[in-house]
Every structure is written in structure tokens, then in C-alpha cells.
Amino acid sequence: MPEPINPTPQADPQPVPNERLVKVFDTEQETEALVVRGLLESSGIDSDMKSLDAVQDAFPGVGGTVILVREENEAEAKKIIEAYRKLPPLDDETADVVG
């Protein structure tokens, strides 16, 4: 049977179940984790976000969110996160739009 002229594109490869993931970021603020995850994904780095919530009655203040990436992406992910951490924080005055 001849090969099709325009083959259908292959779907993204499925993750390997035994793939080694490494932690590159952790925070107590889920919103900050979402920002970092978005930065990684916009740079082409797939990531996984895990919640580490603990029962607050037994362990108050324990918990947070971690971001995991493939081992081969660890160095690049850490560079992106380091650049993010060097950004100056937004304050209310600089966030306002002057009209």
C-alpha cells in the first residue's frame, strides 16, 4: 500500500511512567506556582504541579506546592526560575495605569 501524501501529524508522545522527575520550585502560594509553571510551559518545558497540603489541625502552616520537571530540563528550568526571582516585586503604585 503506498504511503499517504499528507500523513496525519503524530500526537504528542505520552509520558513515560518511570520517567525521573525532579523538584525545581516550591512555594506556599499556589498562585506563585501557577505563574512559574506558566513561565516554564511558555519556554517549552513540561511540568507537573503537586500540592503538599497537610491537615491544618495537626500540622498548621505545613504544606505548599511543588513543581516537577523532567530531569533533562532541570538546568533550563532553574535558569528561568532564577530570572523570575530576580524580577522586582510589583507594588500597588507601579501596577496602576496612569491615564
CATH code at position 79? 3.30.70.1530
| Residue 7 counted as domain residue | no
Overall average pLDDT of the 62-77 stretch:
90
Q: Residue 52: is it exposed, middle or buried by C-beta count within 10 angstroms (0-12/13-18/19+)?
A: exposed
As for how many domains the chain has, the answer is 1
pLDDT at 2: 56
| Residues spanned by the domain of 49 | 21-86
- Structural domain contains residue 1: no
**Residue 28: inside a domain:** yes
Looking at the domain assignment, is residue 39 inside a domain? yes
| pLDDT at residue 53 tops 90 | no
| Its pTM surpasses 0.95 | no
pLDDT in tens, 38-47: 999 999 999 9
Is 48 a domain residue?
yes
Q: Residue 31: inside a domain, yes or no?
A: yes
Q: Which residues pair with 66 in a beta bridge?
A: 26, 50
Mean pLDDT of the chain: 78
More confident of the two residues 89 and 37: 37
